[in-house]
Amino acid sequence: MHLFLLFFSFMAFGQIPDNKMPISHQTEWLLSDLLQDKTDGVHIKGKPQLVSSPYGEAVSFNGDGDAIFVDKMPLESMEEFTVEMIFAPDKSTIFEQRVLHIGEISKDRILLEIRAKNENWYFDGYVTSGKNKKALIDEKLIHPLGKWYHVALVVGKSAMSTFVNGELELTEPFDFKPLESGQCSIGVRQNEVSWFAGEIYKIRITPKQLNREDFLAF
C-alpha cells in the first residue's frame, strides 16, 4: 500500500525518482559494426581495420587518413548528456588527436580529444554551445599510451566534467544550451585534421548525466 501511494504521488506530479528515469534515445555504437555498415549514412575514410581487443572486435585507426563519418546528430536537443568511449591510444608521435567529433565543424560541437607526449596521453573534453566554449584539459593528468581506457564527458545545463576509468578528472561550470545540428566523425575532426592513432571498441551516448557507477562496464 505504501509503495502504491509513493508511486501515485510521483505520477500525480509528473515525476519519477531520478534513479528510475527511463533512458530513451540512447545511442550505442560498436565500432566493428559501424565499419561493416553498408547503409548510406556511414562513410569510411582510408582503411580502418578490424582488430581483436579484450572486449571483442574493435577498429584500428592509423593516425594518417583513417576515419568513420556518420550522418547522424545523436545529441540533438539534449539538455544534458553523457558521452562514453572505450579505446586504446597507440604509442604515437601525433600530439593533437581528435577522437570523436559530434555537431558542426566550427560552431556548436563536442569533441573527445587526447594529447600524446612522451609515451603518455591526457584527456581533453571540449564543448562549444552558442557563445560559450570550454576545454577541460590538464597536462598533468597523464596516462600511459598503448593501454585500454574508458573515458566520459558528462554535460549538464550548468556544468561539465571529464572522467578516465571512472575517476573524475576535471569539472567546471558551463552554461550549456542544446546542440541542434551537425553529424559525427570518429578518428578525426570533421574537417579532416588531427587524426587519431589507436583502437576504439565502443561509443555510447546517453541523454542524461550518468553517475560513474552507471558507466559502461570496463
Q: What residue numbers bound the domain in which 108 lies?
A: 25-214
pLDDT at residue 116 tops 80? yes
User: Is the pLDDT confidence value at 11 over 70?
Assistant: no
For 170-205, what is each residue's pLDDT tens digit? 999 999 999 999 999 999 999 999 999 999 999 999
Beta strands of the chain (E only): which ranges? 27-30, 42-45, 49-53, 56-62, 67-70, 81-89, 96-103, 109-117, 120-129, 132-137, 143-144, 149-155, 159-164, 167-173, 183-186, 197-206
How far, in whole angstroms, is CA 165 from its chain's centroid?
13
Percent of the chain residues past pLDDT 70, beyond the cut: 89
Count how many domains the chain has. Answer: 1
Query: Does some domain include residue 7?
Result: no
Q: Can you give the CATH number for the domain in which 173 is found?
A: 2.60.120.200
Average pLDDT rounded to a whole number, residues 24-30: 89
The answer to whether residue 145 sits within a structural domain is yes
70 located within any domain = yes
Does a structural domain hold residue 9?
A: no
pLDDT at residue number 99:
98
Within a domain: residue 33?
Answer: yes
Q: What is the pLDDT of residue 39?
A: 87
Residue 61 placed within a domain: yes
* pLDDT on residue 189: 98
C-alpha–C-alpha distance, residues 120 and 149, integer Å = 13
Confirm whether 58 is domain-assigned: yes
118-173 residue pLDDT tens = 999 999 999 999 999 999 999 999 999 999 999 999 999 999 999 999 999 999 99
Query: What are the pLDDT digits (tens) for 89-109?
Result: 999 889 999 999 999 999 999
Per-residue model confidence (pLDDT) at position 16: 35
Domain-located, residue 140: yes
Cell triple for 51: 582488430
Split at pLDDT 50, 70, 90, the class of 1 is: very low
